[in-house]
Amino acid sequence: TGPCGPCTEIHYDHRGQGYVGSEVNADNPEVVEIWNLVFMQYNRQEDHTLRPLPSVHVDTGMGLERMTAVLCGTRDNYNTDLFQPLFEVIRKTCSCVEYQSSASHLDVAYRTLADHARMITVAISDGLLPSGQDLGHKLRGIIHRCIRLCQGQFHTEPRVLLPRLVSKVVETLGGAFPELVKTKEKVRDIVCATIELHEQASQLAAKTFRKFLNKVGSRREIRGEELLLLESGHFGSPMSVDAVIDLAGQAGLTVDISGYNTLVEQRQLAVSSERVLLPPDPAQSLVVELSARHIPATEDEFKYCYSSRAGQYGM
């Protein structure tokens, strides 16, 4: 139901074999959809009948990365002039092997870090800030993932590499999105501040994790309930699940993630089934007290006795 209409799709065969209708929308990575246009001219009703819309539109969606890959003559969406400048910043900063368009851990890290750098820059420029809840929490988590990639895969200082990537994102996209140029320094400052806070939290987390290890002894698995306790700060500073997993891997320990997820689901079900008790209304208790003292209600009928003279109200 709702606005709809006929559509046309444009697909591209990277092999150059001409018309391959049987392979369209068949999950063939060589035959990709690069553009879709829907001619919005009907409103489909509950009974499936179509009624003409009062005004018609074209709903168009083009895959920017896919189209760029076609124009650059490559099958890899990342081996284009959208991402190569970002890859070059990573390579020069870290003095590592250049991007090879492979499935290696290094190339996956290249793609992830560059893609996240674009997302972070645009999101913060658009007004989203790292925080502890909702989309801000997801943004903060992505910045933390970038920090771990800088340190773990590229062996470089995040406060050096990430601001450079932000600047390169602004350079590559700023022509189409001028607001990125205006907010460049703000984005860099927020990213650097997030890195600083993450490092402080990491130091506290490492201290807490060492304290936890002293209590569990020689056991090589962190149980689901222990992960919950670490997350809540039972052993010291509260730790994120990602931080526990990272430190556990460094210590050669496994983490019972499925057990943790089960406990979280059970806790959520228990909370949702509890009766919600509203706090007492102080205004209502005040009314009861006034009535008990036989204090008469305020006489305010006079507020309805007014007249209008020369366009002005008066008593």
- Grade residue 169 by pLDDT with cuts at 50, 70 and 90: very high
Whether 10 contacts 45, CB under 8 Å: no
CB 160 within 8 A of CB 93: yes
State yes or no: pLDDT of 290 exceeds 90.
no
Residue-wise pLDDT for 245-255, tens only, equals 888 888 888 99
For residue 167, is pLDDT > 60?
yes
For residue 147, give Cα distances in angstroms to 112, 144, 198, 202: 12, 5, 9, 11
What 3 state SS string does 23-34 have? HCCCCCCCEEEE
The per-residue pLDDT for 139 is 96
Model confidence band, residue 126 (pLDDT cutoffs 50, 70, 90): very high
Domain chopping of the chain, boundaries: 2-62, 75-217, 282-314
Task: Give percent helix, percent strand, percent coil of the chain, each to the nearest 5.
Answer: 55, 15, 30
Distances (CA, A) of 2 to 41, 58, 119, 182: 11, 15, 32, 39
In tens, the pLDDT along 47-92 reads 999 999 999 999 998 988 999 999 999 988 999 999 999 999 999 9
Highest mean pLDDT among 37-41, 132-136, 264-268: 37-41
Q: Mean pLDDT for the chain?
A: 88
Count Cβ atoms below 10 Å from residue 289 Cβ, excluding itself: 10
pLDDT at 220: 84
> DSSP states of 73-91 as a string?
T-S-TTSSTTTHHHHHHHH
- Residues 64 and 61: their CA atoms lie apart, in Å, by 9
Of all residues in the chain, the percent with pLDDT exceeding 90 is 53
pLDDT in tens, 185-199: 999 999 999 999 999
What is the model's pLDDT at position 315? 56
Enter the DSSP assignment of 11.
E
Q: Distance from CA of residue 60 to its chain's centroid?
A: 24
What are the residues facing 7 on neighbouring strands?
A: 38
199-217 tens-digit pLDDT: 998 888 889 998 888 877 7
In the three-class reduction of DSSP (H, G, I as helix; E, B as strand; rest coil), residue 40 is classed as strand
